[in-house]
Amino acid sequence: MSAAAVEIVTIGNELLRGDTVDGNAAWLGRRLADAGIRVARRATVGDDAAAIQAALRDALARTGTVLCTGGLGPTSDDLTRPAVAALYGRALAADPGVLAHIERRFAVRGITMPVSNRVQAEVPVGAHVFANPAGTAPALALEDAALGATLLLPGVPHEVRALMDAGVLDWLRARWPALKAGESAVLRTTGISESALFDRVLDLVPGAAPVEVAFLPAWTGVDVRLTSWGEADAARVTALADVFAARLDAWIYTRDERDLAVVLGDALRERGIHVALAESCTGGLLAKRLTDEGGASAYVHAGIVAYHNDAKRRLLGVSADTLRTHGAVSEATARAMLAGARRAADASCGIAVTGVAGPGGGSADKPVGTVWIAASVEDVEEAQLFRFPGSRDAVRQFAAQAGLRLLHRLLTRPQP
């Protein structure tokens, strides 16, 4: 049998209007991927019987298996059940088991069931019913040889999740007896652009199939994600990740999902050392990133935001001469800020950042985006000049990430 693939059709006028973001489709995509089932395509339609039927007919013709969410409620805009029953040529009939389930849910809350909920117990004849542990409307599976299988789920997100775990996913899995769980590996990189990274591995991509390779850029860096869709096993995915990792070693900071600040925090905790931070243009962002996790006092000593030149002098001991001769955004100032922060905190490692975040303040030789970063561990120190692109916010985010990377590299660099 061909690879496990489904399509998703989400239903609701509120989704088309943008009042509700289609979180169901995103969540289902991840959940299915973990199970080795690929979502081949997604569609969203309004609460309209003809549109629902057309979307389902199209999707079924391609993949033969469709998951729908939405429109199973008790109100007049909830049209999915009759529309799908009609598509499959089935009558709707009250299901005593479902009705009892719905009545019970109201009874435990001490409420009489509103008459309009009765409609939710109407089930297309022959449908498989999945009782809803988190709500009233059950999930339904309809299947025939001509159309294939349609699974109907309610729209409420936590009900979708509960029903997937209460049998819907197992029912789907059973359609592909040889299905293996989806495997994925991630290499999180920073400090290299997407295209430069791709240049280094492009010859590896064609041979990776059936493992899929995705390059996912964000301001924090580029994640390389390797995914198998129930066809390759974990060992193959890991072996392939090793081959990619060998090419990208200088930029990889983790092979799990951790943020760079967490990776660095863990490395500092392991070494038993505390970091001191001296920040100008990032305005405390480095300190924020490093203290986002609880227990950060195990590795963060202090962060000094020295924005004004006077503060760089008074709080960090940067000399007036350094500031006058080299300017606030310079290698000499970054190194002096670093030394000052480490001294003030009596810390054995540190990061200092000084730059032009914009939108104003740039000059010909120091345009907006110019940032000097220095980091040190004990007596090993490094300073680096960056020219970051983008808005004030982007420059500050890039600078914080680069600062974390510089210290992380010093910490993890093989000892000579």
Q: Which residues bind ligand ATP (CB under 6 A)?
A: 10, 12, 14-15, 20, 22-25, 69-73, 78, 135-137, 154-157
Nearer to Mg ion, 71 or 124 (CB): 71
Residue 302 near residue 276 (C-beta atoms within 8 A): yes
Site mask for Mg ion (CB under 5 A), range 28-67, x = bound: ----------------------------------------
For ligand ATP, the closer of residues 152 and 318 by Cβ is: 152
* C-beta of 25 vs 336, nearer to ligand ATP: 25
According to the binding rule CB under 5 A, does residue 135 interact with Mg ion?
no
Minimum Å distance from CB 276 to ligand ATP? 45
**At closest approach, how far in Å is the CB of 149 from ligand ATP?**
19
Tokens standing for residue 21 = 């973001």
Residue 379's alpha-carbon distances to 331, 343, 385, 407, 411, in angstroms, are 17, 13, 20, 13, 12
Sheet holding 252-254: strands in order across?
212-218, 221-228, 183-189, 252-254
Phi, psi of 288 (to 5 degrees): -60, -50
Using rule CB under 5 A, residue 70 touches Mg ion: yes
Return the number of the residue (18 or 416) whose C-beta is nearest ligand ATP.
Answer: 18
Orientation of helix 309-316 relative to helix 331-345, angle to 10°: 40
75 versus 325: smaller Cβ distance to ligand ATP: 75
| Binding partner at 369 among ligand ATP, Mg ion, none, C-beta below 5 to 8 Å by kind | none
CB of 414 to ligand ATP, least distance (A): 48
Cis preceding-peptide flag for 359 (omega within 30 of 0): yes
One DSSP character per residue, 130-187 reads: E--TTSSSPEEEEEETTTEEEEEE-S-HHHHHHHIIIIIHHHHHTTSTTPPPPEEEEE
| In the complex, minimum distance from the CB of residue 244 to ligand ATP, in angstroms, rounded to a whole number | 34
Helix-strand-coil split of the chain, %, nearest 5 = 45, 25, 35
What residue number has its CB nearest to ligand ATP?
73
- Judged by CB under 5 A, which of 12, 36, 358, 403 binds Mg ion? 12
Find which of ligand ATP, Mg ion, none residue 154 binds, CB within 5 to 8 Å per kind: ligand ATP
Q: How far apart (Å, rounded) are the C-alpha atoms in residues 50 and 167? A: 29
124 binds Mg ion (CB under 5 A): no
CB of 23 to ligand ATP, least distance (A): 4
Q: Give the Cα separation of 106 and 110 in Å (integer).
A: 6
Query: Is residue 319 helix, strand or coil?
Result: coil
Q: How far is the CB of 74 from ligand ATP (least distance, A)?
A: 6
State which residue, 16 or 302, has the beta carbon closest to ligand ATP.
16
Is the CB of residue 132 less than 8 Å from the CB of residue 154? yes
3-state secondary structure of 396: helix
Query: For Mg ion, which is the closer residue by CB, 76 or 415?
Result: 76
Q: Which residues bind Mg ion (CB under 5 A)?
A: 12, 70-71
